[in-house]
């Protein structure tokens, strides 16, 4: 039974109805320092009690480890959870942060079978193309994904880090429930092309890294305290002079903390959620955490409503951010717009 106390939203015209905040599960196995499986399991259970139903993973997170870790939780709660996973990215075993991108039919077919096997389920609720391989026409890739829907292996389709034009082309082949892209107080490039296209086509936005990979909580505003293998050592916003410059950008966020009896992270999440009203489309952010107390804090942000004046105060932050969101921006839709 879920003690549902967060509102819900529908992903796309005929997509699933989900809690308006999902849970990013990547850090439970990969990218952000040492894993803590007991705390992560407790986080998953607590999230479900709080009404979180959309759980986000990918085959690339720890080369299948994240899907394997989540499998028992998904199987125990199969009818209560919406499982979102992704294909397209892999890494050589000796270089876990080097990316190989593939969108071709044999690769997709192999990937979906491997994800289903690791997850231990017979259907994936939301299957995303994680990154765009520009050597394969997007209509061809979505055509294969649409076949997976017809074959009953996948229920709904999603795309991550696509441009507005790529989304429009994809939609000519099959309905798309959601676009997953980075969207936060620090990362707003998708507002130019992707968000208007999604609104026009009735596609939901699933913002990833809504807490700026932790930066917007004030808990990690540099790399000094991070483990050697933490992915953020490679993120331009966390390193060198950029880190101090970006930490100063949290000041206006800090001014709202007291008025809302909230934390920095909650203000950052409230801002992302309110993109739904500002831009007129469903928005379901997927903050990532491995700690039950933080999932309580993050879901409580769904109850915060920022005034127009407060939103205006936060408006200038993104354009002042120092450093790109990835070291290699060809890895993003903004790199192709
Ligand atoms: N499609 C894509 O290309 C893509 C890319 C990146 C991520 N994603 C997905 O999006 C999800 C979320 O993004 P993300 O994990 O990169 O970034 P995020 O949600 O912006 O931030 C996650 C970081 O913030 C920390 N955190 C979370 N809640 C906190 C709180 N209340 N107070 C202080 N710190 C807090 C987490 O640490 P703890 O875990 O220690 O709490 C973690 O280090 C991922 O899990 C993944 O599923 C997708």
Give the pLDDT score at 1.
35
Give the pLDDT score at 3.
47
Residue 292 has pLDDT above 50, yes or no: yes
31-34: list long-range contacts, CB under 8 Å, 24+ apart: 31/61, 31/230, 31/231, 32/213, 32/214, 32/230, 32/231, 32/232, 32/288, 33/226, 33/227, 33/229, 33/230, 34/227
**Alpha carbons 310 and 312: distance in angstroms, whole number:** 5
Query: What are the φ and ψ backbone dihedral angles of 185, each rounded to 5 degrees?
Result: -55, -25
**Alpha carbons 156 and 258: distance in angstroms, whole number:** 41
pTM of whole model > 0.95? yes
Give the pLDDT score at 334.
86
Answer whether 299's CB lies under 8 Å from 21's CB: yes
Residue 96 has pLDDT above 80, yes or no: no
Q: How far is the CA of 208 from the centre of ligand 1 (A)?
A: 8
- Is there a catalytic annotation at residue 61? yes
Residue 214 near ligand 1, beta carbon < 6 Å: yes
> Residue-wise over 245-275: b if at least 16 C-beta within 10 A, else e?
ebeebbebbeebbeebebbbbbbbbbbbbbb
DSSP 216: G
Residue 2 has pLDDT above 50, yes or no: no
Residue 271 has pLDDT above 80, yes or no: yes
Give the pLDDT score at 327.
87
Lowest mean pLDDT among 65-79, 91-105, 108-122: 91-105
Nearest CA to ligand 1 atom 42: 214
Answer whether 198's CB lies under 8 Å from 205's CB: yes
Atom of ligand 1 at shortest distance to CA of 26? 45
> How large is the greatest C-alpha to C-alpha distance in the chain, in angstroms?
54
**Alpha carbons 110 and 153: distance in angstroms, whole number:** 12
Answer whether 179's CB lies under 8 Å from 198's CB: yes
Atom of ligand 1 at shortest distance to CA of 212? 20
* Mean predicted lDDT score pLDDT of the chain: 95
Structure-block tokens of residue 50: 């709080």
Answer whether 253's CB lies under 8 Å from 268's CB: yes
Rg, C-alpha atoms of the chain: 19
Average pLDDT over residues 291-318: 98
Residue 290 near ligand 1, beta carbon < 6 Å: yes
Give the pLDDT score at 4.
52
Closest CA to 335 of 217, 230, 190, 224: 190
Q: How far is the CA of 278 from the centre of ligand 1 (A)?
A: 23
Residue 56 near ligand 1, beta carbon < 6 Å: yes
Q: What percent of the chain has pLDDT over 70?
A: 99
Lowest mean pLDDT among 49-58, 94-103, 121-130: 94-103
């Amino acid at each position: 039974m879920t003690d549902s106390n967060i509102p819900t939203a529908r992903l796309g015209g005929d997509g699933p109805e989900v809690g308006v905040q999902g849970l990013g599960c990547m850090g439970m196995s990969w990218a952000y320092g040492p894993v803590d499986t007991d705390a992560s399991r407790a986080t998953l259970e607590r999230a479900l009690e709080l009404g979180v139903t959309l759980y986000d993973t990918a085959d690339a997170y720890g080369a299948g480890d994240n899907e394997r870790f989540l499998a028992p939780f998904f199987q125990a709660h199969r009818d209560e959870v919406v499982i979102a996973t992704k294909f397209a990215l892999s890494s050589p075993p000796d270089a876990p942060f080097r990316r190989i991108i593939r969108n071709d039919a044999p690769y997709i077919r192999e990937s979906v079978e491997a994800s289903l096997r690791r997850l231990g389920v017979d259907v994936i609720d939301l299957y995303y193309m994680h990154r765009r391989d520009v050597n394969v026409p997007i209509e061809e890739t979505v055509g294969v994904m649409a076949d997976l829907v017809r074959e009953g292996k996948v229920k709904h389709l999603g795309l991550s880090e696509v441009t507005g034009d790529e989304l429009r082309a994809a939609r000519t082949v099959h309905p798309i429930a959601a676009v997953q892209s980075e969207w936060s107080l620090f990362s707003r490039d998708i507002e130019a092309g992707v968000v208007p296209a999604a609104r026009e086509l009735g596609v939901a936005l699933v913002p990833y890294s809504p807490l700026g990979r932790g930066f917007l909580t004030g808990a990690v505003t540099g790399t000094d305290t991070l483990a050697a293998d933490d992915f953020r050592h490679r993120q331009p916003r966390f390193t060198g002079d950029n880190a101090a410059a970006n930490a100063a950008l949290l000041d206006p966020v800090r001014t709202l903390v007291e008025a809302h009896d909230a934390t920095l992270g909650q203000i950052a999440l409230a801002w992302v959620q309110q993109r739904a009203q500002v831009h007129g489309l469903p928005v379901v952010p997927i903050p990532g955490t491995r700690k039950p107390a933080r999932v309580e804090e993050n879901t409580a942000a769904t109850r915060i409503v920022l005034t127009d004046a407060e939103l205006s105060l936060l408006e200038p932050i993104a354009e002042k951010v120092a450093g790109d969101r990835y070291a290699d921006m060809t890895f993003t839709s903004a790199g192709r717009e």
